[in-house]
Structure 1
Amino acid sequence: MTNKKARNRNNFFWIYAAIFSIFLGIFFFKSSFSRPKKIDQDTFFEILSRGEVQKIVVKHKEIVYVYLKRNLSSINGIKNGQHIINGRYFISQPLQYEFEIGDLQFFQKKFEKFKEKYNLDTLIEFKNQQEYTLTKFFLDYGIFFILLIIFWIFLFKRIGSTGGGPGSQIFNIGKSRAKLFNENDDVKTTFKDVAGLEGAKEEVQEIVEFLKSPQKYTKLGGKIPKGALLIGQPGTGKTLLAKAVAGEAKVPFFSLSGSDFVEMFVGVGASRVRDLFEKAKEKSPCIIFIDEIDAIGRTRGKSSIAGSNDERENTLNQLLTEMDGFDTYTNVIVLAATNRSDILDNALLRPGRFDRTILVDPPELNERKEIFDVHLKNLILSDDVDVDFLAKQTPGFSGADIANICNESALIAARKDRNEINHEDFLDAIDRIIGGLEKKNKVIKPEEKKRIAYHEAGHATVSWLLKYASPLVKITIVPRGRSLGSAWYLPEERQLTTLDQMKDEICALLGGRSAEEIIFRSISTGALNDLERVTKQAQSMVVIFGLNKKIGNISYYDSTGQNDFFFSKPYSEKTAQIIDEEISKIISEQYERSKKILKNNEIKLSMLANELLEKEVIFREDVKKIFGERTFPDEVENMLNNPIEPISS
């Protein structure tokens, strides 16, 4: 109902605007229509000789305005200063023509000669002063301005009476845009809807308890925290946690984005911050949630121009003041979320403002299983759907990614006119999200398809024979997105990576190009993505992780994000040359290593490529038939064969 009223107000506004535009158009049309037409002197004297000119007005000795006669009837007489010429009745016509003159005396003499020659009664007037008075201005433009004033008064009254509609922000531009949720609102999200994130949930649950029963925590002399900052990658559930807090707290909950403070007008952001905290104090105890706080919380003084006004910095300063100015027992807690914590101002992160920093990491294996359970409960599934397998197939996926997989699988099953979602639909959904849309109709030449098959078989062969390379899941030469083929792996979930593990990963990535060189005696552009990943991996080994003997235990990584690595390198030119040489050396060594592995297994490589050409998609079991059982590290073996059970407390 509210939306319908808002649409009606919107429609009325556009009706009024259309009426006003019509009046405005009429006014300008009338103004342009009444303007005199410019002519030259010869044309004027031709008109004058025909006796059609009633009078002329010479203004400032250089411009002549011409007024013509209008023939109405043959009534004799004079009425109200109107003229009878040769027995005919005339009335003044509005200004018709204008032209410029050079020498006034010459023009006046010529004019008088024409009057005598043609026996004319045309009048001539001279005006050298400004004739545009206030009265004349009002007569010309008064109606327009009166209509304009009436229109705006009427519009503002409607805005004031309805409390909304277009233009209402003119009066509320300095007011907070936060949306208020209270205990009467139907906020359905609770902590039961947040799967995984047990540590983060425990932290925010305690914040809810602070507000529900503050005496429990303050009776021993403690103080209620003023703020908590949620930090994590996009899609990990920061905003979902805040919604759950709103559903669980049963206290007023103000929700807005950091960009809601930003405006082009000076002082508006700070005004909105003040208004937000004033409303929060009135509703205490309550929670303020600011999503994407990095929009206003960036480090100050980095890009401002000397002497200029930085509205964002003013807004941040006001936010810092309001957070630090809270009374100890106002029971207002600020929650904020960001995925750019490295660029936030240090003054914003200090205790007393954001007392707690809550990390929201991508879910682990068991947490992914819980997230799948949440999103699968509303789907119609077949009996062959294995949630444990899906959780293993999605390492590094965020909660939003898993929700997208579940939704995409339902769409795929519906597209195939199925009554339930089966295991194959989930695999297709994962492929669709990771690799892109399958392009079955893409035309590929036979020789190109053969090269693609050997390229992917090279990846699979090297990764199968290396100890620390990621376990293979399947290989395909069906084009998806920008890729013409791909090999799918199950990366090992580990917290630390050793030097040998990183070298094996580089070697496996170079297996595709190595296979091309061995089989076709030439290389192609198909290894672009592989080379990009290899270069970044080798660069991180040398520059960031200190895994190179020649450079030593040195890291040039800046975790604060204050320095631009590409424009202000923190090392000398000599060191830069050594870094380039070591990166090239690592890649060359692993490239030769991958070629050696493939040459020793060239027959099996060809068998795998031929089977791939025949089937287009082959799986781990097909590779096992050719190469035999693969020896995994103990950690990966356990992960593949034995799902990790949660440890009971």
Structure 2
Amino acid sequence: MAKETNNNTNPKKPRFSSYWIYGIILLFIIGMQLFSGGSGWSTPPEITPSRMEQFLEDGDVEKILIINNTKSAKIFLTEEALKKDVHKNAQGQTFLPSASQVPQYLVKFGDAQNFENGISETIDENNLSDVEVKFDIESNLFTDLLITLLPFVLIIGIWIFLMRRMSGGAAGGAGGQIFNIGKSKAKLFDEKTDMKVTFKDVAGLEGAKEEVQEIVDFLKNPEKYTSLGGKIPKGALLVGPPGTGKTLLAKAVAGEAKVPFFSLSGSDFVEMFVGVGASRVRDLFKQAKDKSPAIIFIDEIDAIGRARGKNNFTGSNDERENTLNQLLTEMDGFGTNTNVIVLAATNRADILDKALMRAGRFDRQIYVDLPDVRERKEIFEVHLRPIKNSESLDMEFLAKQTPGFSGADIANVCNEAALIAARKGKKAVDKQDFLDAVDRIVGGLEKKNKIITPEEKKTIAFHEAGHATVSWLLEHAAPLVKVTIVPRGQSLGAAWYLPEERLIVRPEQMADEMCATMGGRAAEKVIFDKISTGALSDLEKVTKQARAMVTIYGLNDEIGNLTYYDSSGQTDYNFSKPYSEETAKVIDKEISRIIEEQYQRAIKLLEDNKDKLTTLAERLLEKEVIFKDDLERIFGKRPFEKKSGMTEIKESDSATKEEELQEKE
């Protein structure tokens, strides 16, 4: 019974539509046409001019109305004539009321002057002075209205269409959208209906997670902190490389916090209309203050937070700067509300405005870095929950095979491994599928049908064997995992290593890495006494390393303890270099010297081990893919193997990561 009462008291009202107005206007125009003095829908029968003259001579005609613009005449009969049998087919009264008399006949004529003269002669000859002859110009009210209103209807229609397109086509009609264009586009997180992400779903990132959890605790228990005189922070900025979990942390805050959570992107403030960005910022903070305590999350804040005046050559960024100014005022200005916390995320903190970064606006900067081995293991455990895995799958092994991978990369590896296992018809995902997935993501898809001549294949084999040989013989070079001459992606061959995860790098370590990188070209020189274009990616890598040693890290004796690196990013917008032309010559000379030294060093190593290099290359030509065990059979155990607990890859395994190093031939 209660349900019936609710249904009766709250009947569903029909939604108002703008099409109702269009229908009413159309009905009004049709009504005007029908009731405006016309003859309704019926048309009087048409007769010839000679027959009209006959009716005129018989005295049946009361009035003749000549319409000049249509070259027609309307004939009106007398009351007595309408009773005659000869006029039984004449038009009588219509079914619609009319403000004027209804004609009984219609006459079409050619030349108006001859027609008028004929009527005058007939009237004079028969002495019909009581017959009334009038002249008129007929107009169609519907046509006149249509011609008058059509331009306005078209203009209004185009305006409505454009406004709906510019307003995103949301419901509520064009007028409502125009008035709402300055409203915030922030999405209010609903913990009851939206998918809930908690801190349990965020693996690794312990330091960042701890700081974000504290912000949530501020809003849940403010007295705990304010009782000691402390103030709740106004904002926290999440900074880090792409894919490290900044947005995921914000989702976890939305899931954990029991307060309203407004989420939007920095680009949501941008619009083609002037002043809309600032208006949306005001509306966003007004909504948050009305629901305080609340959290605002702005993803990719660099869309509006870029430093003012930077890269503004055309002077066309005033709208973005106005939006930023309004955001600065709302975060720390007169009348700010301390119960609203702003979270923001960006991977380009160096270009943000200094006024936005200062304490009092973003009190905390939380750096979200790439995960280490332990954190990668935790991330694998999270992403492998919904996947059917083999019982023998070792998470620690997977973590060690993916150095340099971000959380998003690991999620992609897990998904790719599941797809590969499904493609092979397996019931569970095993270790081999994950290794194949890493190969697929790092190197691309295998292209075994690529046409390669025997001479080219031999060159590629010695090139890759050169990389493997030099890296095996150098102490600080990354340990080799796999070498292949099977084309994959854009590469004709690749040597994959498992680099040591270092926090600081010494000059001798960089030198060994560059020497191993130049081993491919050095092998071509030693074996064929020729070089090729296949070492492009090698040259690019060593050039970047050598330039970094000289201009960034201050590891060159000629330049000394100087760096030309600017962490603020200001030099990116300058056309001048921070050093003189003489220094530029020294820099170029030192970069070339460093690379050439390592190249000659690689040549000497390969000449001393030419027989082993040849054996390795021939084995590579035979098997196309070789592993660490093959090098141990040829060179023996590596004398300076690190005791890092690194998992060895057996010949049955298929690959690993190449952050490492991938050579494009």
TM-score band by shorter chain is: 0.7 to 0.9
| Of 296, 299, 307, the match for 2:304 | 296
Q: Is the CA contact (8 Å cut-off) linking 1:304 and 1:310 kept in structure 2?
A: no
Deviation at 1:325, TM superposition (A): 2.7
SS in structure 2 at match of 1:447:
helix
Q: Measure, in 2, the Cα distance between the counterparts of 1:606 and 1:298.
A: 56
Q: Measure, in 2, the Cα distance between the counterparts of 1:154 and 1:472.
A: 65
Deviation at 1:309, TM superposition (A): 5.9
Deviation at 1:137, TM superposition (A): 11
Counterparts in 2 of 1:623 and 1:317: CA distance versus 1, 3 Å = same
Find out whether 1:263 has 2:271 as its counterpart: yes
Deviation at 1:330, TM superposition (A): 3.4
Deviation at 1:144, TM superposition (A): 1.4
Q: Which residue of 2 aligns with 1:638?
A: 644
Counterparts in 2 of 1:282 and 1:84: CA distance versus 1, 3 Å = closer
Match for 2:644: what amino acid? N
Q: Is the CA contact (8 Å cut-off) linking 1:72 and 1:91 kept in structure 2?
A: no
Q: Which residue of 1 aligns with 2:391?
A: 383
Find out whether 1:401 has 2:409 as its counterpart: yes
Deviation at 1:292, TM superposition (A): 0.3
Q: Which residue of 2 aligns with 1:373?
A: 381
Counterparts in 2 of 1:154 and 1:331: CA distance versus 1, 3 Å = closer
SS in structure 1 at match of 2:571:
coil
Deviation at 1:384, TM superposition (A): 3.7
Q: Is the CA contact (8 Å cut-off) linking 1:452 and 1:485 kept in structure 2?
A: yes
Match for 1:218: what amino acid? T
SS in structure 2 at match of 1:537:
helix
Deviation at 1:622, TM superposition (A): 1.2
| Of 613, 616, 624, the match for 1:616 | 624
The correspondence of residues 336-355 of structure 1 with structure 2, limited to 5 A, is: 336-355=344-363
Deviation at 1:389, TM superposition (A): 1.4
Q: Which structure's CA Rg is the greater one? A: 2
Deviation at 1:152, TM superposition (A): 9.0
**CA offset digits 1:546-598 (Å, max 9, x no partner):** 00000000000010001128832100000000000000000000000000000
Find out whether 1:625 has 2:633 as its counterpart: yes
| Of 234, 242, 255, the match for 1:247 | 255
Q: Measure, in 2, the Cα distance between the counterparts of 1:212 and 1:88.
A: 91
Q: Measure, in 1, the Cα distance between the counterparts of 2:584 and 2:156.
A: 72
Q: Which moved more, 1:319-328 or 1:293-302?
A: 319-328
Structure 1 gaps of 5+ residues are 1-8, 20-70, 93-134, 643-649
SS in structure 1 at match of 2:66:
coil
**CA offset digits 1:488-532 (Å, max 9, x no partner):** 100110110000001011100000000011111111111000000
Q: Which residue of 1 aligns with 2:110?
A: 90
Q: Which residue of 2 aligns with 1:437?
A: 445
Find out whether 1:141 has 2:160 as its counterpart: no
Find out whether 1:279 has 2:287 as its counterpart: yes
Q: Which moved more, 1:618-627 or 1:324-333?
A: 324-333
The correspondence of residues 582-601 of structure 1 with structure 2, limited to 5 A, is: 582-601=590-609
Q: Which residue of 2 aligns with 1:80?
A: 66
SS in structure 1 at match of 2:643:
helix
Q: Is the CA contact (8 Å cut-off) linking 2:310 and 2:573 kept in structure 1?
A: no
Deviation at 1:142, TM superposition (A): 1.7
**CA offset digits 1:359-394 (Å, max 9, x no partner):** 000000100000011111221112342211111111
Q: Measure, in 1, the Cα distance between the counterparts of 2:322 and 2:573.
A: 29
Q: Measure, in 2, the Cα distance between the counterparts of 1:433 and 1:284.
A: 45
SS in structure 2 at match of 1:289:
strand
Q: Measure, in 1, the Cα distance between the counterparts of 2:283 and 2:413.
A: 41
Q: Is the CA contact (8 Å cut-off) linking 1:435 and 1:481 kept in structure 2?
A: yes
Q: Which residue of 1 aligns with 2:89?
A: none
The correspondence of residues 467-486 of structure 1 with structure 2, limited to 5 A, is: 467-486=475-494
Aligned length: 533
Counterparts in 2 of 1:571 and 1:152: CA distance versus 1, 3 Å = closer
SS in structure 2 at match of 1:450:
helix
Match for 1:237: what amino acid? G
The correspondence of residues 450-599 of structure 1 with structure 2, limited to 5 A, is: 450-564=458-572, 567-599=575-607
Q: Measure, in 1, the Cα distance between the counterparts of 2:175 and 2:462.
A: 64
Q: Measure, in 2, the Cα distance between the counterparts of 1:461 and 1:489.
A: 12
Q: Which residue of 1 aligns with 2:338?
A: 330
Q: Measure, in 2, the Cα distance between the counterparts of 1:624 and 1:363.
A: 31
Q: Measure, in 1, the Cα distance between the counterparts of 2:512 and 2:72.
A: 112
SS in structure 2 at match of 1:564:
helix
Q: Which residue of 2 aligns with 1:219?
A: 227
Q: Is the CA contact (8 Å cut-off) linking 2:66 and 2:72 kept in structure 1?
A: no
Deviation at 1:136, TM superposition (A): 13
Q: Which moved more, 1:194-203 or 1:434-443?
A: 434-443
Match for 2:383: what amino acid? H
SS in structure 2 at match of 1:475:
strand
Deviation at 1:170, TM superposition (A): 2.5
Q: Measure, in 2, the Cα distance between the counterparts of 1:91 and 1:376.
A: 95
Match for 1:617: what amino acid? V
The correspondence of residues 97-112 of structure 1 with structure 2, limited to 5 A, is: none
Match for 2:148: what amino acid? G
Counterparts in 2 of 1:592 and 1:143: CA distance versus 1, 3 Å = same
Q: Is the CA contact (8 Å cut-off) linking 1:236 and 1:360 kept in structure 2?
A: yes
Deviation at 1:185, TM superposition (A): 3.6
SS in structure 2 at match of 1:256:
strand
Q: Measure, in 2, the Cα distance between the counterparts of 1:153 and 1:531.
A: 58
SS in structure 2 at match of 1:80:
strand
Find out whether 1:180 has 2:188 as its counterpart: yes
Q: Is the CA contact (8 Å cut-off) linking 1:187 and 1:246 kept in structure 2?
A: no
Counterparts in 2 of 1:328 and 1:553: CA distance versus 1, 3 Å = same
Q: Measure, in 2, the Cα distance between the counterparts of 1:625 and 1:91.
A: 116
Q: Is the CA contact (8 Å cut-off) linking 2:479 and 2:499 kept in structure 1?
A: yes
Q: Which residue of 2 aligns with 1:416?
A: 424
Query: Which structure is higher in RCO with an 8 Å CA cutoff and minimum separation 6?
Result: 2
Q: Measure, in 2, the Cα distance between the counterparts of 1:186 and 1:594.
A: 59
Q: Is the CA contact (8 Å cut-off) linking 2:417 and 2:429 kept in structure 1?
A: yes
Q: Measure, in 2, the Cα distance between the counterparts of 1:387 and 1:536.
A: 34
SS in structure 1 at match of 2:570:
coil
Deviation at 1:177, TM superposition (A): 0.4
Q: Is the CA contact (8 Å cut-off) linking 1:517 and 1:523 kept in structure 2?
A: yes
Match for 1:446: what amino acid? P
Match for 1:355: what amino acid? D
Task: Tell me the TM-score normalised to structure 1 length.
Answer: 0.77
Q: Is the CA contact (8 Å cut-off) linking 1:534 and 1:587 kept in structure 2?
A: yes
Deviation at 1:443, TM superposition (A): 1.3
Q: Is the CA contact (8 Å cut-off) linking 1:287 and 1:332 kept in structure 2?
A: yes
Find out whether 1:311 has 2:331 as its counterpart: no
Structure 2 gaps of 5+ residues are 1-14, 24-45, 54-63, 74-106, 113-140, 649-665
Identity of aligned residues (%): 66
Q: Measure, in 2, the Cα distance between the counterparts of 1:481 and 1:638.
A: 32
